[in-house]
């Protein structure tokens, strides 16, 4: 059951082969067994979770169930959930209990889904390894000595280890897709504004976007049907008709279901810095797409090499503004001893924030200062426009862009902890889509030395349905997305032919 698709789980519930309570308890038992080692979850509340499962069983019995009713999901701890501890992976919010629900949480609640708990994450979503969390790092289920990626590392590990049916994540510079690559599952970052950010604790408001993290493209499509939708409480939420993201999946059958599809291969994504074994896996996946009928086109994204410096000007600038609200007055951590109001501010923030968050606040404050605004922040915004223009030109030549999701497989915990720049380079292939506001996703494409490798797909604005179809077609002829780690004997080499 733990490896079943969301569609199959829904059918099992509808046919009364299993109840939501029984299904939920199965996942809770796995969490109790493996979470002390993996550290994927921050907050669990069995009573709340089972109460939702019981309510779902009533809906199923009454014939009012929806496709995700009764299915247990994990929620990244960046989403406020009423009555749940909501920490954003920080000491600053270690004791904060949300008084309201984020839009994403409401959408899942309305669909009758079950909340298994809140998953671990890099502090305030700042990190690429889930090592900056106040609650400790998360272990990669394929190799406990390695990181799961970040910032959605807890959700990533939970999905890969089958400690949930699927999970939510957020992607500011690759925080859904990079962990999806490192942990071997499917993750989608939607077009900016397609999923409401209301109740999602802000890091960089012009970049943050929530999305699904699941075993397959089909699962992500079902989650997108729930997560998307206009929300008037979010000024960046897009008011456009709802879509059925599963509508084209059934057409991805036959010998060449992708005949006529043009795949763009950006030369910048296959240059120096890409691990040779990862490159081979990605090229093999692209070759499989050619067998499915697609044709490949060489393209260029010339300004993509500037995406990291642009991102690390703009994102810290927005973070320095967003995190100014954590002052020890209204909510969050407050220093136990202080001399006056200013001292309280300083000590509360010094104690409440970790090193990486402080680093980004300082960078952001610097680039927004009067003497450097034009030289750094304004220039970064101008280059951001050039990066978006590159994609506009590229999509005149192709329908979807493909390349590696991450430059390497999962690295060992602590390996890059003392080198922030090396850590930042983990997002070298993912950041550009965030800067442009475009959708992107990662799908399992194979293994290198026993560790998962992800293939990245990038689409034009609102092209999620086609991307999901393209990913689904590949997953119909491969089984990489079905493989799961052995949590009792991690670090095992995969069977012959799967390495």
Taking only the tens place, the pLDDT of each residue in 403-433 is 999 999 999 999 998 888 889 889 999 999 9
Would you say 154 and 416 are in contact if contact means Cβ atoms under 8 Å apart?
A: no
Q: Is a pLDDT exceeding 70 seen at residue 249? A: yes
Would you say 112 and 69 are in contact if contact means Cβ atoms under 8 Å apart?
A: yes
| Longest CA–CA separation in the chain, Å | 74
Q: What local confidence, expressed as pLDDT, does residue 251 receive?
A: 86
User: 165 burial class (0-12, 13-18, 19+ CB within 10 angstroms)?
Assistant: buried
Question: Active-site residue 175, yes or no?
Answer: yes
Question: Active-site residue 151, yes or no?
Answer: yes
Q: What local confidence, expressed as pLDDT, does residue 498 receive?
A: 52
Q: What local confidence, expressed as pLDDT, does residue 494 receive?
A: 52
Q: What local confidence, expressed as pLDDT, does residue 492 receive?
A: 58
Q: How many CB atoms are located within 10 Å of the residue 409 CB? A: 24
* Catalytic annotation, pick one of 48, 76, 139, 347: 76
The stretch 15-31 carries a mean pLDDT of 98
Question: Active-site residue 76, yes or no?
Answer: yes
Q: How many CB atoms are located within 10 Å of the residue 449 CB? A: 12
Q: How far apart are CA 216 and CA 160, in angstroms?
A: 11
Q: What local confidence, expressed as pLDDT, does residue 497 receive?
A: 43
| 441 bridge partner residues | 188, 457
Q: Is 351 helix (H, G, I), strand (E, B) or coil?
A: helix
pLDDT in tens, 221-248: 999 999 999 999 999 999 999 999 999 9
- Contacts for 250 with CB less than 8 Å, ≥ 6 apart: none
Mean pLDDT of all residues belonging to the chain:
96
pLDDT in tens, 149-163: 999 999 999 999 999
Q: What sign results for the dihedral spanned by CA atoms 423, 429, 430, 433?
A: positive
Q: How many CB atoms are located within 10 Å of the residue 414 CB? A: 12
Q: Is a pLDDT exceeding 90 seen at residue 55? A: yes
Q: Is a pLDDT exceeding 70 seen at residue 491? A: no
Q: Is a pLDDT exceeding 70 seen at residue 299? A: yes
The stretch 469-474 carries a mean pLDDT of 98
- For tokens 């970790």, the residue is 354
* Catalytic annotation, pick one of 90, 155, 175, 442: 175
Class of CATH domain 6-231+248-302+392-482: alpha beta
Q: Is a pLDDT exceeding 70 seen at residue 344? A: yes
**Both tokens assigned to 381:** 């915004």
Q: What local confidence, expressed as pLDDT, does residue 499 receive?
A: 39
Q: How far apart are CA 293 and CA 302, in angstroms?
A: 28
The stretch 108-135 carries a mean pLDDT of 97
Q: What local confidence, expressed as pLDDT, does residue 489 receive?
A: 79
**Both tokens assigned to 460:** 């034009």
280 — pLDDT class (breaks 50, 70, 90): very high
Q: Is a pLDDT exceeding 80 seen at residue 496? A: no
* Catalytic annotation, pick one of 5, 20, 133, 151: 151
């Amino acid at each position: 059951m733990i490896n079943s698709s969301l569609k199959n789980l829904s059918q099992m519930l509808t046919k009364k082969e299993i109840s939501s309570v029984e299904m939920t308890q199965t996942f809770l038992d796995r969490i109790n067994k493996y979470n002390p080692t993996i550290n994927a979850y921050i907050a669990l509340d069995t009573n709340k979770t089972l109460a939702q499962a019981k309510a779902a069983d009533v809906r199923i019995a009454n014939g009012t169930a929806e496709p995700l009713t009764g299915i247990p999901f994990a929620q990244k701890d960046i989403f406020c959930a009423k009555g749940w501890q909501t920490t954003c992976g920080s000491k600053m919010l270690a004791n904060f209990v949300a008084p309201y629900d984020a839009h994403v949480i409401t959408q899942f609640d309305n669909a009758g889904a079950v909340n298994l708990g809140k998953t671990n994450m890099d502090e305030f979503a700042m990190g690429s390894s889930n090592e900056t969390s106040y609650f400790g790092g998360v272990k990669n289920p394929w190799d406990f000595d390695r990181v799961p990626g970040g910032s959605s590392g807890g959700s990533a590990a939970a999905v890969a280890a089958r400690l949930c049916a699927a999970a939510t994540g957020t992607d500011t510079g690759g925080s859904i897709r990079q962990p999806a690559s490192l942990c071997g599952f499917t993750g989608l970052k939607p077009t900016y504004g397609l999923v409401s950010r209301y109740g999602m604790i802000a890091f960089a408001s012009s970049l943050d976007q929530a999305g699904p993290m699941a075993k397959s493209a089909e699962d992500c499509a079902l989650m997108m049907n729930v997560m998307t939708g206009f929300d008037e409480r979010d000024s960046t939420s897009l008011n456009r008709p709802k879509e059925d993201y599963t509508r084209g999946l059934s057409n991805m059958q036959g010998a060449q279901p992708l005949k006529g599809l043009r795949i763009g291969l950006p030369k910048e994504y296959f240059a120096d810095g890409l691990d040779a074994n990862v490159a081979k896996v990605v090229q093999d996946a692209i070759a499989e797409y050619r067998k499915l009928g697609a044709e490949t086109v060489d393209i260029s994204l010339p300004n993509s090499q500037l995406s990291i410096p642009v991102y690390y000007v703009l994102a810290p600038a927005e973070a320095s503004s967003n995190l100014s609200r954590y002052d020890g007055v209204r909510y969050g951590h407050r220093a136990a001893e202080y001399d006056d109001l200013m001292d309280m501010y300083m000590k509360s923030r010094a104690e409440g924030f970790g090193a990486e968050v402080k680093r980004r606040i300082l960078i952001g404050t610097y680039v927004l200062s009067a003497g450097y605004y034009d030289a750094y922040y304004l220039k970064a915004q101008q280059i951001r426009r050039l990066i978006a223009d590159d994609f506009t030109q590229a999509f005149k030549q192709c329908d979807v862009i493909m390349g590696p999701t991450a430059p390497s497989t999962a690295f060992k915990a602590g390996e890059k902890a003392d080198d922030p720049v090396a850590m930042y380079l983990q997002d070298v292939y993912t950041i550009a889509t965030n800067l442009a506001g475009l959708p992107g996703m990662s799908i399992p494409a194979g293994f290198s030395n026993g560790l998962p490798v992800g293939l990245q797909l990038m689409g034009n604005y609102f092209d999620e349905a086609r991307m999901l179809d393209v990913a689904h077609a590949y997953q119909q002829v491969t089984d990489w997305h079905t493989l799961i780690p052995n949590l009792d004997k991690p670090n095992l080499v995969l069977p012959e032919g799967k390495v």
